[in-house]
Amino acid sequence: MPRLAPVMNSVFPDRLKATTPFEITLLRFGHNIITWQVPSSGARMSRPKEPKTSAVDQAARALRDMAMKRDEGRLVGSEDELMTRLGVSRPTLRQAAALVAQEHLIEIKRGVNGGYFTSRPSSITVARIAAIYLEAHDAKLRELVRAVEPIRHELAQLAARNRDPEALAALSAFLDKERALDEQGGANDYLTFLKTERELGRLIGRASGNLLLELFLNITYDLAARVSGTDDVYAHRPDRIEQYRLHRNQMVAAILSGDEEMASLATRRCSTIVVEWMQDDMGSGGFQSDPMALPAR
């Protein structure tokens, strides 16, 4: 068996102050030698270089900050003003503006009274990317439907705890409109139902006080809106709309009374019947979508 023996070079203190690097033999094992390279005393540890930020990226960051600090629809500045303020050329500014406009944080208006105005992204902006992701990963429509239940369940509970008079007044007004539609006989119309469903989603989202959950709910609605009318479980089925509205409005009434348990129960009933209808009508079909099919913002 070969003998394992460490062999240390004799190193004097003045050697450690050498201006050129040298090696120390740490371990010799047969023909294998492990060495340690000692840097010179004047050598500095190299740090990874930070990626350079282009003029376009810097201008885009500045534009983004300006837009975020202003209310929606406010003027950020004219093109000439922003060129001077940011110290960039026109092509650089336009490239930067195009990047920020893709994020829906600014809107560019040309001509008289034109300029760069603040904007805000909507859930549709996020839904476009989400739809591409879901289709690329072969997500099923039933996954989308089932995702609505836990989101709405949590939103309903949070909304039931909220005793803010303004939020409660908005939900109460929603129920009043629902009763009026029942009296007029148009409550179970397909298009009317879709509008009221989105309206209620916004009201519950605001009443919950949770912006993230509200965004998630709106995204699921935006994705569901991509489903063909022939595949929609509510299309040409006023009986289903009527049944769903019954449970949905019970949920709203429970929220108004502050009853979290009843609000949760009504939410689950809504989700359960929708899943049953979907299984009856569509089986396990995939989620098919056109990334550009969502309406313009």
Tokens of 266: 């009504």
Q: What's the confidence (pLDDT) of residue 231? A: 72
Where does a domain end: 65, 90, 118?
A: 118
The percentage of the chain sitting over the pLDDT mark of 70, rounded to a whole number, equals: 76
Torsion region of 96: left, alpha or beta (phi above 0 gives left; psi -120 to 50 gives alpha): alpha
We report the CATH number of the domain holding residue 148 as 1.20.120.530
Whether residues 145 and 229 share a domain: the answer is yes
d(CA 75, CA 133): 34
Torsion region of 98: left, alpha or beta (phi above 0 gives left; psi -120 to 50 gives alpha): alpha
Residue 86, C-beta contacts closer than 8 angstroms, at least 6 positions apart: 59, 62, 63, 93
Would you say residue 294 lies in a domain? no
Phi, psi for 167 (deg, rounded to 5): -65, -40
Phi, psi for 286 (deg, rounded to 5): -80, 165
Q: What's the confidence (pLDDT) of residue 272? A: 93
Would you say residue 46 lies in a domain? no
Q: Over the chain, what is the mean pLDDT? A: 83
Whether residues 170 and 69 share a domain: the answer is no
Q: How many CB atoms lie within 10 A of CB 277?
A: 18
Residue 22 has pLDDT above 90, yes or no: no
- Worst-scoring range by mean pLDDT, 23-32, 87-96, 110-119, 138-147? 23-32
Q: How many CB atoms lie within 10 A of CB 275?
A: 16
Whether residues 258 and 161 share a domain: the answer is yes
Q: Is the pTM here over 0.75, yes or no? A: no
Torsion region of 46: left, alpha or beta (phi above 0 gives left; psi -120 to 50 gives alpha): beta
Q: What's the confidence (pLDDT) of residue 294? A: 47
Whether residues 262 and 190 share a domain: the answer is yes
Residue 98 has pLDDT above 50, yes or no: yes
In order, the DSSP letters of the chain are -PPPB--PPP--GGGGG-SS-EEEEEEEETTEEEEEEEPPTT-----PPPPPPPHHHHHHHHHHHHHHTS-TT-EEE-HHHHHHHHT--HHHHHHHHHHHHHTTSEEEE-STT-EEEE----HHHHHHHHHHHHHHTT-BHHHHHHHHHHHHHHHHHHHHH---HHHHHHHHHHHHHHHHHHHHT-TT-HHHHHHHHHHHHHHHHHHHT-HHHHHHHHHHHHHHTTS-TTT-TTTT-HHHHHHHHHHHHHHHHHHHHT-HHHHHHHHHHHHHHHHHHHHHHHTT-B----TT-SPP-
Whether residues 128 and 265 share a domain: the answer is yes
Q: What's the domain range around 192? A: 123-282
Would you say residue 245 lies in a domain? yes
Would you say residue 158 lies in a domain? yes
d(CA 161, CA 259): 8
Shortest CA distance to 270 belongs to which of 287, 252, 288, 284?
Answer: 252
| Greater pLDDT, 226 or 95 | 95
Whether residues 274 and 128 share a domain: the answer is yes
Phi, psi for 109 (deg, rounded to 5): -115, 130
Highest mean pLDDT among 1-5, 60-64, 127-131: 60-64
Would you say residue 148 lies in a domain? yes
Q: Dump pLDDT digits (tens) for 112-164.
A: 889 999 999 988 888 888 888 888 888 888 888 889 999 999 999 999 999 99
Whether residues 173 and 254 share a domain: the answer is yes
Residue 57, C-beta contacts closer than 8 angstroms, at least 6 positions apart: 96
Would you say residue 108 lies in a domain? yes
- Worst-scoring range by mean pLDDT, 92-106, 214-228, 248-262? 214-228
Whether residues 207 and 233 share a domain: the answer is yes
Number of domains in the chain: 3
